[in-house]
Amino acid sequence: MSKIINAFKDKKAFIAFLTAGDPDIETTKECIIAMEEAGADLIEIGIPFSDPIAEGIVIQGANIRALKNHTNLNNVFQMIKDLNSKLTVPIILLTYINPVMNFGYEEFFKTSEKSGISGVIIPDLPYEEKEEIISPAEKYGVDIISLIAPTSNERIKKIAKDAKGFVYVVSSMGVTGVRKEITTDVDSMVQLVKETTKTPVAIGFGINTTEQAKHFSEIADGVIVGSAIVKIIEKYGKNSPEYVYNYVKEMKDSIKD
């Protein structure tokens, strides 16, 4: 059983996201430790990129701040290595295909394994074009996390059938960001995935309140929260770890069975 799948075992999983290097690498480290201490079951780390097409204005801002600090893939790999002895939860990277391609597929997944990374999410990699990275990912034991959007329609079962780690169900059309209300028929999407695979299902995009987290955790195996955490980091900067801890703990407590 992969480390990611194991994180969903016998509980509802809370997946917390932040952007590496925002406001700096040391604060990112402290926030990651705070997330685990607060109860996060998996931690998703965004690699700063100049054209994060899946992200809304909040995470775009985090990318800009991190890039101004010269944060890059090598910085992030080293940061995660430094944290290995302090963390027990799986670490997942969110990146785009261009940085992976430039780093070299083989070298990227080899370094991911050495750094202690369990999975990678690549939003701009179409399902039909992922074959070229599957081989090196599997070679080094890194799960490629599949995304299923409201527009996936008849492709949902095809994508779910090959899913590794967990299936990331996108709750809303458009980019990431806090939403007051999520009106997509997520229930039907999750049901279709669960009819196809035993791989856990987590819902993300827009979730930011305890009420939303509780509701979607009753539908799926876990929930993903990103923009709300990034907003806290934007507001409090170097002082954010304490506030991130409090928020993650509140959200995790809301989804406990």
**Is 153 inside any structural domain?**
no
* CA distance linking residue 219 with residue 236, whole number of Å: 33
Question: Which residues are CB-neighbours of 237 under 8 A, at least 6 positions away?
Answer: 23, 27
**Is 96 inside any structural domain?**
yes
* CA dihedral (178, 9, 93, 194) positive or negative: negative
User: What does the chain come to in residues?
Assistant: 257
**Is 88 inside any structural domain?**
yes
Q: State mean pLDDT over 205-218.
A: 91
Q: State mean pLDDT over 241-253.
A: 97
Does the pLDDT value for residue 180 go beyond 50?
A: no
**Is 86 inside any structural domain?**
yes
**Is 23 inside any structural domain?**
yes
Overall number of domains in the chain: 1
**185-194, 220-229, 232-241, 248-257: which has the minimum mean pLDDT?**
185-194
Q: Can you give the pLDDT at residue 185?
A: 75
Q: Can you give the pLDDT at residue 139?
A: 96
Q: What tens digit of pLDDT does each residue of 4-22 get?
A: 999 999 999 999 999 999 9
**Is 189 inside any structural domain?**
no
**Is 198 inside any structural domain?**
no
**Is 38 inside any structural domain?**
yes
Q: What tens digit of pLDDT does each residue of 82-131 get?
A: 999 999 999 999 999 999 999 999 999 999 999 999 999 999 898 888 88
Does the pLDDT value for residue 151 go beyond 90?
A: no
Domain with residue 58: its CATH number is: 3.20.20.70
Q: What domain range is 39 assigned to?
A: 3-144+203-255
